[in-house]
Amino acid sequence: MDWQSSADTTPASPVTEADARMLLGRPPATGAWRDGDPVGDRRFAALGTFVTENSAELPGARLAYESWGELSPARDNAVLILHALTGDSHVRGEAGPGHPNAGWWSDIVGPGAAIDTDRLFVVAPNMLGGCQGSTGPATIAADGYEWATRFPYLTVRDQVRAQAHLADLLGIERWAAVIGGSMGGMHALEWAVGLPDRVERAAIIAAPPLTTADQIALNSVQLEAIAVDPRFQHGQYYDSADGDGPHRGLALARRMALLNYRSPTELNQRFQRSWQSGVSPLGRGGRFAVVSYLDFHGNRFTRRFDANSYVTLVEAMNSHDVGRDRGGVEEALSRVTARTLVLGIDSDRLFPVDGQHRIARSIPHTIGGDEATVITSDFGHDGFLIETPVVAAHLRELLEA
C-alpha cells in the first residue's frame, strides 16, 4: 500500500499540490533507505550471519525496527506488528526526516488506542529483504557493491526466523500478541504455527493460508513488468551512468498491484467515468481520472521503494504455504495454541475471505468459532488500513481477552 503498506490508504482524497510538487523531477535510481540517510525513529538489530532455508548465507544481516511503550519487568506485555508487502516499521508517528510518510496504523497504535502503548511494548520491524533499513538487495555487501540480484531467495519462514532472532535480542521469549495484515498476516500465521510456544495471541488479518496459483500468476506479471524495463539492467541499476532506475517497470508493477488492493465497487463509485481534462473521452488526448490515480500512485511508489527489493519480497510471498512439510494446511493449523483473531474483508479480491474461513475452521482457539470474522467494506483488501474503527474494535477484543 502506498502509505507504507500496499496501496493508497486515503479513502477518496484528490492529488494535492504538495503531492504534485513531490513528483516533480526524476526519481532516484532506488527509493530505498540507505546508510547515511536520516535515521528517524529506526533502531537496528544485528543478526550476524543469517542462513536461509536454501542454505544461502547473508553475512552481517540486520533488521530495522521501531518500538513504542515500555517492556514490563516480567517481559510479558510485548506485541509484534508485521507490515504488508511494501510497508515498513513506521507504524505510527509523523512524517519527517527518514520517514517520508506518516505512520500507516496511527489510529490503532498509540496511547489509549486499541494497541495501547501506555500498557504494551510494541515492536514493528521492517522485514528481511525490505528496503527501509533492514538488509535487502539495496544494502551494500562486503565487497562494497549492492547485493542487487545476488541477494538470496527468501521465504516467509526465513523472514519469521529473522523476526524471532530480533525477539531474542530484545529479551522477549513470548509475545503477548503477534499481529499482521496482508503479507504481515502470513508472517503472523507462520509465527503461530511454527513457534506456538512464543505466541499468546495472534491476529491474522486479510491473509491466506497459502499463496494460490491465481495469486502467483498475478504476481508474475508484476515481476515481468520490472524485468522488461530496459533500465532494470538485470538488477544492476544502482550505479547507472545517468542515475536512472527502472521507474516505469516498478510503477507499472505497482499499478497492477493496486487494482488488487481496491474493489470494483470503490473504484466505480469514486471515479465513475470522470475525465481528467476537458478533452472529450470520445477522442484521444487527456485521460480518465482512474488512470490518473493509478499513474500518480505508481510514480509516487518509485520514490520510496527499490525494484530488486520488490522482486525479493514478492517471491517470498509466493513461497507462503503454512502446510508445507507439515502434513497440509489443516494439520499445520491444528498446532496453533494462541487465541486467534482471523479477520477478512468481504470485498477483498486479493486474498478472498474463503482463505480466512479455511484458517479459522482449523485453528482450535479462534475468536468467533469456526468462521473468520468478516468486516464489510467497499475498499477491498486495503480495508484493514482504512476501516480502522472496526479493525480496532476487534483487536481490542483480542487483546483484552
Report the relative pairing of strands 115-116 and 177-181 from DSSP bridges.
unpaired
Instruction: Provide the grid cell at 329.
Output: 494446511
Taking a C-beta distance cutoff of 8 angstroms, is the pair 383, 350 a contact?
A: no
Instruction: Provide the grid cell at 307.
Output: 525494484
- What phi and psi, each to the nearest 5 degrees, are found at residue 231? -80, -5
> One of 5, 89, 182, 319 is an active-site residue; which one?
182
Instruction: Provide the grid cell at 202.
Output: 495472534
Where helices occur in 136-211 by DSSP H, the ranges are 156-170, 183-194
Residue 343: strand pairing partners: 205, 373
CA distance 181 to 313: 15
**Would residue 348 show up in a list of annotated catalytic residues for this protein?**
yes
Report the relative pairing of strands 57-68 and 121-125 from DSSP bridges.
antiparallel
> One of 8, 158, 229, 348 is an active-site residue; which one?
348
Element housing 43 (H / E): strand 43-51
> One of 83, 381, 382, 394 is an active-site residue; which one?
381
DSSP-assigned states of every residue in 228-289: TSGGGGGG--TT-TT----HHHHHHHHHHHHHHHS-HHHHHHHHTT-BSSSS-TTSSSS-BH
CA distance 367 to 147: 43
| Cβ-based burial of 10 (10 A; exposed 0-12, middle 13-18, buried ≥19) | exposed
**Would residue 381 show up in a list of annotated catalytic residues for this protein?**
yes
Number of residues written out for the chain: 401
Q: Is the dihedral of CA 232, 234, 240, 241 positive or negative?
A: negative
Contacts for 203 with CB less than 8 Å, ≥ 6 apart: 177, 178, 179, 180, 185, 188, 340, 341, 343, 394, 395, 398
**Would residue 182 show up in a list of annotated catalytic residues for this protein?**
yes
CA distance 184 to 190: 10
Residue type, position 162, single letter: A
The residues annotated with a catalytic role in the active site are: 182, 348, 381
